[in-house]
Structure 1
Amino acid sequence: MRIDSLQLFQFRNYKDITIKFNPEIIVLHGDNGVGKTNILESIYVGTIGKSHRTNDTADMLMFNADESGIVINFEKRETAQKVNLKLYRKGSKDIRLNDTKISQKELIGTLNTVIFCPEDLQLIKGNPSGRRRFLDMEISQTSATYYHQLLQYNRLLQQRNTLLKEYRGKQSIPLEEWDLQLADMAAFIVKKRLESLKKINLLIDLMNRKLTAGQENLTIGYEQNYGDENTIVYTRDEFYQLLQEALPQDRHRLTTSVGPHRDDLRFFSGAMDLKKYGSQGQQRTAVLSLKLSELEFIKSEVGEYPVLLLDDVLSELDELRRSNLLHFIHKRIQTFITTTDIHDFKYMDHVQFIKCKGGTINATNGKP
């Protein structure tokens, strides 16, 4: 999979630009604040229909602009395709694939990408919501059914929580219909997560051993704070029963305490919980291994590597990890890298350098 060209119209600080890309490594360089990350963001928006930096579409529009446009020409399984998005300050997005209007739900999985940002280095130490979001988006890029079920589950969950608030203090709450549907969808989501984690664990341990020269292993565990702490709840009947048992607590707290929206991931090196006891170096190696395993997981599911977006992370990694990462992607995966320092790439071949400067770009192949 590769991106051939990108056109931006009134997106962030780019008024009207078109960039053609080579199929391997693209280095976006320049001072801080000149728009390097904006280009990666636009590609990611073309992947899932929304930004990884903001939940407000208006933030992505150029100042005083009422609309913005992103056009991405790419190849998937050697077939040329085009994604065209129009973003509006007011109103819904217009998304088209090969000139046919599609929904945001249908967009996901069309152009596969993996993004690695400095914030991801906090994935192990950060909140459970970030780890759930990582796993959900990875699976969603390879399974439209999973994404649809996840959306349905979240809608039903919101409706159930609304009922808990509306019937506060009353004797009974009509939750039977919601609980049966929630239990069914919860079972599907957890089963799919466990199935995917089984594959990811094989890949992440392999990647971590490569990065540590075989010194450390790495596994991801799935954690639930309800039910029996020694087993994972994953059947419809189990979820339904636990929803009933937790109802008094849910009525008091006015929120649903059972389900995949409360689950978490734990990272282990041997028996050691990396969140609690891992060094910063071990945690960063684990996150890097996770991102590399994400590339391999998507390839195993869709048949080819996704496009990799590296947003200013090389400066956060030590020399050994940088070297291992660049060695892994070189001549294998089309990769977009933002950086203020091009030293690591001066002696690499098949590199395209794009200098960003205040809403303009200058692209060169070979040395800048």
Structure 2
Amino acid sequence: MHVKNIRLINFRNYYSLNIDLNKKTNIFIGKNAQGKTNLLEAVYICATGRSFRTNRDKEIINFNKNEAYVGAQMNIGKQEKFIEIKLEREKAKRIRVNKTELKNYKELYSGLNVVIFSPEDLKLVKEGPGERRNFLDMEISQIRPVYNFNINRYNKILFQRNNLLRSSKFQTNISSLLEIFDLQLAKIGTDIILERDKYVQELSKISSITHNKITLSRENLELKYLSNIEILDDKIEMEKNYLNKLKRYIDKDIEAASTQLGPHRDDILMTINDKELKTYGSQGQQRTVVLSIKLSEVELIKKQRGIYPVLLLDDVFSELDEERRKYLIKSFQDMQTLITVTDAIDLKEMKTIEKSIFYIEEGKLM
């Protein structure tokens, strides 16, 4: 799969841009704040319907304008797709696929899988469980669109249940009212937990091999999904246990005015040689783990879909030493890759690969 063309109008700092992309490697060179990352964001939005940088669509619209447009012509196997997204300050975004408008972005399944790797991805290790849950939700949704549907349903039910808990002091029959939500949470929550656990197990197998190669067999990486609901082989039995546990936690939930159990509280444990990465890992180890995970995402998508995703590398070469840069370059030569760098000196290891180079200055191709 690859993106053939990107067209932008009033998108971030781009007033107008129409660019044809190389099927292999595309390198965008420019100083900071010139608009390089905006191009990666445009591809990501066309693939997933949302940004990896903000949850507020109006931030994507050029500061001096009231609406923006991004369109991407893409090839997915033997299929051609044209994705168009229109953003307006006072309206919901509109998405068209091959000229047919969708009801909302949640209906978008572009078929274009993307993996993004940036210095910000260190948050995956350094910050709280929410970062790791968001990571899982974004990646699994690309492979299994029904998972995204389940997450949206779960969050809606969870919101309603928490509202009820916050008003519980005015309710005399709180337990019977909660039971309505609990039945739904246990069913959908079980599906989410099982899907996440399966994904983490597969990702752990691949990233362990990748990390072992990068570190020359010095380090063993392991990922484990941590859930506050016991994971069982029997799905029906797991739903029952989940529901019973929700009932036992009613008093705690009422006291906290929020739901204490479920996938919205889960996490991923990352260990290097059996030591927790977040607590004991050095900056270099944490950066290498993120690289291993991102490259493993690529291989997992290839395994699931039989085709490589588009890889987006945002200013990561300056963060890696020469050995890891070479490993990364070797890894992406079989897929379309979009790379941002601030200096042409970062290209010295890419002399022999097929590529197109673009220079960006103040939202314009130079």
TM-score for both structures, normalised by structure 1: 0.94
More off after superposition, 310-319 vs 338-347:
338-347
Letter paired with 2:340: T
Letter paired with 1:325: L
Structure 1 match to 2:111: 110
Letter paired with 1:147: N
TM-score for both structures, normalised by structure 2: 0.94
Structure 2 match to 1:162: 163
Structure 1 match to 2:125: 124
Q: Are residues 1:286 and 2:286 paired?
A: no
Structure 1 match to 2:51: 51
Map 1:130-209; keep pairs closer than 5 Å.
130-168=131-169, 170-173=171-174, 174-209=177-212
What are the superposed Cα offsets for residues 48-93 of structure 1, whole Å, 9 maximum, x if unpaired? 2121112211111112311110010111012221101101111111
What are the superposed Cα offsets for residues 291-339 of structure 1, whole Å, 9 maximum, x if unpaired? 0011111111111111011111111122221121111112x12111111
Distance 2:35 2:364 in 1: 9
Deviation at 1:214, TM superposition (A): 2.0
Structure 1 match to 2:360: 356
Structure 2 match to 1:23: 23
SS in 1 for 2:91: coil
SS in 1 for 2:300: helix
SS in 1 for 2:285: helix
Letter paired with 2:364: T
Deviation at 1:180, TM superposition (A): 0.2
> Is contact 1:109–1:142 with CA below 8 Å preserved after alignment?
no
Choose from 221, 228, 231 the match for 2:224: 221
Deviation at 1:108, TM superposition (A): 3.9
Structure 1 match to 2:10: 10
> Is contact 2:270–2:278 with CA below 8 Å preserved after alignment?
yes
Distance 2:300 2:322 in 1: 26
Distance 1:65 1:16 in 2: 12
Deviation at 1:213, TM superposition (A): 1.6
Choose from 339, 344, 347 the match for 1:337: 339
Distance 1:348 1:153 in 2: 49
Distance 1:282 1:349 in 2: 28
SS in 2 for 1:87: strand
More off after superposition, 290-299 vs 58-67:
58-67
What are the superposed Cα offsets for residues 189-222 of structure 1, whole Å, 9 maximum, x if unpaired? 1111111122111111111111112222211011
Root-mean-square deviation (CA, aligned residues, Å) is 1.5
Letter paired with 1:73: Q
SS in 1 for 2:356: strand
Identity %: 39
Q: Are residues 1:259 and 2:252 paired?
A: no
Q: Which one has the bigger helix percentage?
A: 2
What are the superposed Cα offsets for residues 239-279 of structure 1, whole Å, 9 maximum, x if unpaired? 11111111111101111000000000011123211111122
> Is contact 1:108–1:140 with CA below 8 Å preserved after alignment?
no
Deviation at 1:109, TM superposition (A): 5.1
> Is contact 1:345–1:351 with CA below 8 Å preserved after alignment?
no
SS in 1 for 2:297: helix
Distance 1:168 1:116 in 2: 47
1:361 to 1:243, Cα distance in 2 relative to 1, 3 A: same
More off after superposition, 100-109 vs 130-139:
100-109
Distance 1:158 1:78 in 2: 42
Distance 1:158 1:189 in 2: 17
Letter paired with 1:26: N
Deviation at 1:155, TM superposition (A): 0.5
> Is contact 2:70–2:85 with CA below 8 Å preserved after alignment?
yes
More off after superposition, 272-281 vs 124-133:
272-281
> Is contact 2:123–2:131 with CA below 8 Å preserved after alignment?
no
SS in 2 for 1:175: helix
> Is contact 2:8–2:70 with CA below 8 Å preserved after alignment?
yes
Deviation at 1:106, TM superposition (A): 2.4
Letter paired with 2:279: K
> Is contact 2:317–2:346 with CA below 8 Å preserved after alignment?
no
Q: Are residues 1:271 and 2:274 paired?
A: yes
Map 1:78-97; keep pairs closer than 5 Å.
78-97=78-97
Distance 2:281 2:142 in 1: 30
What are the superposed Cα offsets for residues 98-123 of structure 1, whole Å, 9 maximum, x if unpaired? 11112312224522101112110231
Distance 1:39 1:33 in 2: 12
SS in 2 for 1:15: strand
Letter paired with 1:344: D
Distance 1:156 1:289 in 2: 35
> Is contact 1:310–1:335 with CA below 8 Å preserved after alignment?
yes
SS in 1 for 2:126: coil
Structure 2 match to 1:75: 75
Letter paired with 2:309: P
More off after superposition, 177-186 vs 276-285:
276-285
Deviation at 1:42, TM superposition (A): 1.1
SS in 2 for 1:123: helix
> Is contact 2:31–2:343 with CA below 8 Å preserved after alignment?
no
Distance 1:316 1:217 in 2: 22
Structure 2 match to 1:32: 32
